[in-house]
Amino acid sequence: MVDLQKKTVVAVIQARMGSSRLPNKTLVNLAGKPLLGHVIERLQWCKRIDDIIVATTINSQDNAIFEYCRNFYIKTFRGNETNVLDRYYCTAFENDLSIIVRITADDPIKEPIVIDRAIEELLKESFDYVSNTLNPTFPEGLDVEVFTFEALEKAWQEAKLQSELEHVTPYIWKNPKKFKVKNIENDIDLSGHRWTIDTAEDLNFIRKIYERLYIPGQIFLMENVLELLRLCPEITHLMPNIERNFGYKYMLKNEAASRQYSRPDIDL
């Protein structure tokens, strides 16, 4: 058995400028710094992450992401835009990664403590995949997925559905007989909170949090945000009421409809 404890752990941040709901959000200004910069900064507070790679696309509009990372000596990889599973696999393969932490670039309140906890669970029990998303109890935006290169490679070889290719990990967690998976949970269910940026309304809400809590060179945690929202209901009321993972769920509905109305070839 491979000794995972001796393997390096690398966070791979998927990032692109071509968001349909909030174009160019990856580098949008948030408290004087691009959104991506805040995500990177919070990952640097993780004790169990050894390195960070930003996985962007080969599209020219993502040159800005590449240049931003180069200016701050952040490693990058450029790959397929829509087949994000392939982008992750190529990033991992080209950089000889063993343990991958999947991070999205639109979550500037990522919790280092939660990320480290997921990494520890995978390392100590030799899981193929650990996340807090299978039964979500943390706020949306604190999502984390950790998996081995072997699990990623198997998914890359076998996944076929567009939802599996675009969202990277569904093939892994939908096949518990093929992969050893685990979900970590919070003590109380906070899954009703939305702390991610996908729309202009999300950005406005997160900006209000950063205005109150962000201090350059320091980090605020989930408990600080919860306390702020308790004391300032006017900020809480700005939190958008959007279904969790609505993009993935919408894609699943389209795939189901496509299978329902497709007809087999008929030999005449």
What's the CATH number where 152 sits?
3.90.550.10
Residue range of the domain that includes 231: 4-258
In the chain, how many domains are there? 1
Q: Tell me the C-alpha distance between 205 and 224, whole Å.
A: 15
Q: Is 194 helix (H, G, I), strand (E, B) or coil?
A: strand
Q: Residue 20 has what pLDDT?
A: 82
| Residue 267 placed within a domain | no
Question: Which residue carries 């809400």 as its tokens?
Answer: 205
pLDDT tens by residue, 168-223: 999 999 999 999 999 999 999 999 999 999 999 999 999 999 999 999 999 999 99
Residues contacting residue 186 through CB under 8 Å, at least 6 positions apart? 132, 137, 138
Q: Residue 264 has what pLDDT?
A: 47
| Residue 266 placed within a domain | no
Average pLDDT for residues 11-34, to the nearest whole number?
95
**If pLDDT is split at 50, 70 and 90, which confidence band does 257 have?**
low
What are the residues facing 172 on neighbouring strands?
none
**If pLDDT is split at 50, 70 and 90, which confidence band does 249 have?**
low
| Residue 67 placed within a domain | yes
pTM: 0.91
Whether pLDDT at 109 is above 80? yes
Average pLDDT for residues 117-124, to the nearest whole number?
96
Torsion of CA 28, 34, 39, 41, to 10 degrees: -170
Q: Tell me the C-alpha distance between 51 and 11, whole Å.
A: 6
- Listed in order, strand segments (DSSP E) in the chain are 9-14, 29-30, 33-34, 51-57, 75-79, 99-104, 129-131, 145-148, 181-183
Residue 154: Cβ-neighbour burial (10 angstroms; 0-12, 13-18, 19+): middle
| Residue 80 placed within a domain | yes
| Residue 73 placed within a domain | yes
Closest CA to 16 of 85, 113, 105, 114: 105
Residue 141: Cβ-neighbour burial (10 angstroms; 0-12, 13-18, 19+): buried
How many other CB atoms sit within 10 Å of the CB of residue 118?
A: 23
Q: Residue 244 has what pLDDT?
A: 76
The CA-to-CA distance between both ends of the chain, in Å, stands at 54
pLDDT tens by residue, 139-177: 999 999 999 999 999 999 999 999 999 999 999 999 999
Give me Rg for the CA atoms of the chain: 19
Closest CA to 72 of 37, 29, 38: 37
| Residue 263 placed within a domain | no
| Residue 85 placed within a domain | yes
User: Phi/psi at 198 (nearest 5 deg)?
Assistant: -130, -20
Whether pLDDT at 253 is above 80? no
Q: Tell me the C-alpha distance between 148 and 172, whole Å.
A: 11
pLDDT tens by residue, 224-235: 999 999 999 999
Whether pLDDT at 262 is above 70? no
